Structure 1
């Protein structure tokens, strides 16, 4: 296990093929300024580029996930996007490896949009989510208004978007927005358990499955298969496919090499 604290706005820690990325501005509930955004982007780039890392976990220090954009920095910095990758280099990024949100306390505004950009979510029962942009004269433009109606029943999503009301984690879990509901202080442990379950599978197959899901959203079946098949056909000829099927027949865990 190694820790990098060079950039204090964000801490990174390796845990057996998992990169834990911690937003580290607890005095402002991990609000996102440009420095934090750039540091998250750098951590996500490390996750993508390092073949020894399979899964990322995004979490926050000090008992909260993220309170969104730093409104005090907004007049001088604007929205803390990174190039074409969106808020904190995540909300519009094209990633190949799964990222899990581990949520304690508040995941609000841009913080909730970071959660919506992740693949899975572990959250403490005391956590809550909200998109209060309309109450600030703003719009949830980094994925909130786009992704939330796809993840929740339409009228519930509209209630959150138009009234700025919070959504408790237990309610989010009932509607399928949270994969793992934990006791307070245990969201990271829940995310690590999800990561271990992902890492038990072929890393290549996981990446291609993510790509298919993201590439075919909103398509009808015919169009979706047309997009999917060129992505998945090579997988069936890989060493991983041979190893996975052989391990099943031999009743043993597979030994993945890629």
Structure 2
């Protein structure tokens, strides 16, 4: 599929989604949001996609957030209701069973950070600046920031970031658990791709069930999460890949996964 504001490339089971508006720090306009919805919806349905990497074009930003030029017109009720009904790209990301890795370089602000929060794993370059800055524009995070951030860093730190609109650097983001790894700025994408390729080598159904067990389990009481884990583990015992994994281990060879 051809896009105007993003790029999507698939190599060896890893899809790389690149926000491609570097002249405006990869700010997200309506066109980009719509293309991200279509892109992630398509990736989620593609059995050839084992893992996904999200990054920003250029050296200055993952994404600086929403394109402020679209903020100058007041929201009218009809348009507001239409936006509420429209599928958000972060919902489309939630619908992807494949693991999603963010490669963050430079600014990840507002909606840009919310995009990173919707990923499963975040790798930041040393130059990363992260923040939910919406309060500075008399609005609040509306793309999951008020819900996803406290689940990662805790209520107090999330409120501090949201209520002040302050940015934090990569080292602080690592300390509070907002990112999983900090690497040299020029190596963020390479590290993300390396991780995604390692993930993509595993059995596809097991990958999807492992992610489902963790993501859905965190929203359940422990007993419910344990039941979910047991159900998924039981289902995996019926797959052809489970048998292939055992045979490959005994034969001391690399497994040949079929996704069945």
TM (norm. structure 1) is 0.89
Aligned residue number for residue 39 of structure 1:
35
How many residues are aligned here? 253
User: Unmatched 5+ residue regions in structure 1?
Assistant: none
Q: How far has the Cα of 1:125 moved from its partner? A: 0.5
Deviations 1:10-52 (A, max 9, x none): 1122221111111111121111111101111222123122222
Aligned residue number for residue 215 of structure 1:
216
More relative contact order, 1 or 2 (CA 8 Å, 6+ apart): 2
Alignment counterpart, residue 22 of structure 2, candidates 14, 26, 37 = 26
Whether the aligned pair in 2 keeps the contact of 1:55 and 1:99 (CA below 8 Å) is yes
- Equivalent residue runs for 1:43-192 within 5 Å: 43-63=39-59, 64-74=61-71, 75=73, 85-86=87-88, 88-90=89-91, 93-192=94-193
> In the aligned structure 2, how far is the partner of 1:100 from the partner of 1:116?
10
> In the aligned structure 2, how far is the partner of 1:170 from the partner of 1:225?
34
- Decide which structure has greater helix share: 2
Q: How far has the Cα of 1:89 moved from its partner? A: 4.5
Q: How far has the Cα of 1:91 moved from its partner? A: 6.9
> In the aligned structure 1, how far is the partner of 2:176 from the partner of 2:90?
27
Whether the aligned pair in 1 keeps the contact of 2:44 and 2:95 (CA below 8 Å) is no
Q: How far has the Cα of 1:84 moved from its partner? A: 5.5
Alignment counterpart, residue 14 of structure 1, candidates 10, 13, 35 = 10
User: Unmatched 5+ residue regions in structure 2?
Assistant: none
Q: How far has the Cα of 1:90 moved from its partner? A: 4.4
Distance 1:192 1:233, change over 3 A: same
Distance 1:208 1:94, change over 3 A: same
Q: Give the alignment's Cα RMSD to 1 decimal.
A: 2.3
Q: How far has the Cα of 1:92 moved from its partner? A: 6.7
Distance 1:222 1:159, change over 3 A: same
